[in-house]
A and B are shown apart, each in its own frame.
Chain A
Amino acid sequence: MKPCIELNSVTYFHSNSIGFTYSKNRILNNVSLNIYNGEILCIVGESGSGKTTLVKIISGILKVNSGTINYSKELAGSKKSIQILFQNSDELLNPFRKVADVLHDAKASEKSLEKILSDLNINKHLLESSCSSISGGERQRIALARVMLTQPKVLILDEPFSAQDIDSKENFKSLLTHLKKNQKMTLIIVTHDVSLIENLADRIVVIFGGRIMEISDTKKFFNFPRHPYSKFLLGSTRYKLPVESINTQFEDIKSICPYYSRCNKRNEKCIDDIMIHSEENSYVFCNNPYEETSNEGK
């Protein structure tokens, strides 16, 4: 299958950046990734690791410093085909405008507007209020409605669940699977809540310190995370991990692997080289990943 977006060793740096990177202020470092038509791709990782920067580069808001991005013919044709929903719910909508005006920006028909409002569980009386007087979660849902009205081919969602209550989260999830099935939309979801995406994503990308750590199928990832950071991330959801085991007093050693100072499987080789272990559809960027056959990870 041919990918619809192809990133080749993309590097992005900012002269004043302080992201969680140890190498020359690079926010993204040598990221290569293929995104296929009609899949749900989830990007997870620590905050400050460059998730938002990566999706901004995919959507074309930021220009890369080195490396290339190739779009398929379908996507390159129209500006509208890639849409992004930003993270900060306070700044999504213009506070001086009415909700109805904001939604009419998309120039969609009344029918599709009504359908999306009912899909997203938005009350109709909200339409008449101004954007400043509604709550953060409602604002997020209205911004999503506006983005969806433009009928994009690739939809990027940056932390879409952050301000939603339990019901809306479930609602969102079923809507997203519906979009994928019926409209064959490609979805890229950035999130920090790993437990939410277990039944949603097709593939998962784990990112740390501006580098990709693991790309894996969802089933494989949840059954057997191979990278030490992935294992740590999954272990700490649902409060299974005692706080004492999170090493916060780490040494600041310059190495090519950003996870080096917190890693419990590191060795001397890790300082200047990272090996890529690849099986079908899954890649691990680590010298000593956990092996499926051994018992040490269980």
Chain B
Amino acid sequence: MIENKIVLSVGLNSIKRSNTNRNVFHLKKIFFDLREKEILAIVGPNGVGKTTLLNSFLNLLDYNYTIDGIISLMGINPLSSSEKVLTNLRKNVTKYIFQDAANCFDPLRKLAYYFNSTINESELDSYLSYFLLPTSDNILNKYPGELSIGMAQRLAIIWGLLSKPQLLLLDEPSSALDAPIINLLSYKLKEWNEKNNSSVVLVTQNIDFAIHTATYITVLTKDGLIHNDQNDISYLQKYLHNSSDESKS
């Protein structure tokens, strides 16, 4: 059997954060490979470092962090490459939808700015109606502040899907969406991923969503990233509970 190409390969011994009054914060033992047409979901308790991990894939962490390890994104190590290569990685190879989706958009620019250059209109319209949003001439001459947060989140996801990156990073894509739309999103992500030979890394608190969407689910704890191939729910819940018990004591 021919295996698909590896898109993202991560081998991190630790990520440390210093220079705060808080206890030195670190993640350790994170190892995984992500291939084409795969969706990886990362779940874990609050404050364990899920967003920090996503940021490290594109070298977005500031000087307070020290990273020990290797990341390979399409054969390039973003931790030790020049600004030019990094810009290309961030702009063309990947798309990163942040946690508070309303902040993805510049509040002073109309939404048309984001959708004018790259997009073919019929595709945009089909996505808009699929995600139960108003039509494009209705929505694109508005400012982001005029949208509700759930609408902004859906638009940000559509923006990500339309630009067809090799790797799509989604930080809590379902946080402001209601159940029918999460249903739609889960279905669309799988279909899109298969069609475009892309891969997706998904950080979420919604375990149901993760189980229905991801190829495999990992749990991020203070002791590292725990893999599980069979998507067993009881296994996931056990780890989520254990890790938060430790933080209580």
| Residue positions of A touching B, CB distance < 8 A | 14, 16-20, 44-48, 52, 87-91, 121, 123, 125-126, 128-130, 133-138, 141, 159, 162-168, 192-195, 232-233, 236-239, 241, 243, 246, 248-249
Contact = CB atoms under 8 A, between A and B. Distances in A.
A75 to B, nearest CB: 27
B177 A47 contact: yes
A121 B205 CA distance: 18
List 3 A-B pairs, minimum CB-CB distance, nearest first.
A47-B150, A137-B46, A192-B178
Interface in B185-236: 186-187, 205, 207-208, 212
Contacts of B138: 18
Given A16-B142, A125-B23, A232-B180, A165 B45 contact: yes
A215 to B, nearest CB: 18
Interface stretch (B28-36, B87-95, B237-245): B237-245
Contact of A164 (B177, B205, B208): B205
B187 A52 contact: no
B119 interface: no
Chain B CB within 10 Å, residue with most, of A128, A135, A232, A238 = A135
Contacts of A246: 180, 183-184
Contacts of B180: 46, 232-233, 236, 241, 246
Given A163-B46, A241-B180, A192 B150 contact: yes
Contacts of A91: 100
B208 to A, nearest CB: 7
Interface of B: 20-23, 44-47, 51, 99-100, 102-103, 129-130, 132-134, 138-139, 142, 146-151, 153-154, 172, 175-181, 183-184, 186-187, 205, 207-208, 212, 237, 240-241, 244, 247-248
A47 B183 contact: no
A248 B130 contact: yes
Label chain B's interface by main secondary structure: helix
Contacts of B176: 47, 87, 159, 162, 192
9 contacts: A20-B134, A47-B151, A48-B148, A133-B20, A163-B175, A165-B205, A167-B45, A233-B178, A243-B187
B67 to A, nearest CB: 17
A44 B178 CA distance: 9
Contacts of A232: 180
A19 B172 CA distance: 23
B150 A163 contact: no
A129 B22 contact: yes
Chain A CB within 10 Å, residue with most, of B20, B21, B46 = B46
Contacts of B139: 18
Given A123-B247, A163-B46, A194 B102 contact: no
Given A47-B178, A193-B179, A243-B184, A238 B208 contact: yes
A38 to B, nearest CB: 28
B140 to A, nearest CB: 10
A243 B241 contact: no
B39 to A, nearest CB: 16
B240 A167 contact: yes
A130 B21 CA distance: 9
Contacts of A238: 208
Given A18-B142, A159-B176, A163-B205, A248 B129 contact: yes
A166 B240 contact: yes
Contacts of A47: 148-151, 153-154, 176-178, 181
B175 A135 contact: no
B45 to A, nearest CB: 4
A163 B204 CA distance: 9
B179 A237 contact: yes
Nearest to B142: A18
B241 A167 contact: yes
Given A17-B146, A47-B151, A136 B179 contact: no
Nearest to B103: A90
A233 B46 contact: no
Contacts of B133: 48
Contacts of B248: 121
A135 B208 contact: no
B195 to A, nearest CB: 16
A44 B47 CA distance: 28
Nearest to A53: B148
Contacts of A133: 20, 22
Nearest to B23: A125
A153 to B, nearest CB: 27
B111 to A, nearest CB: 10
Contacts of B177: 47, 192
A128 B21 contact: yes
B47 A137 contact: yes
Given A18-B138, A136-B99, A232-B180, A166 B22 contact: no
Nearest to B139: A18
Contacts of B150: 46-48, 192
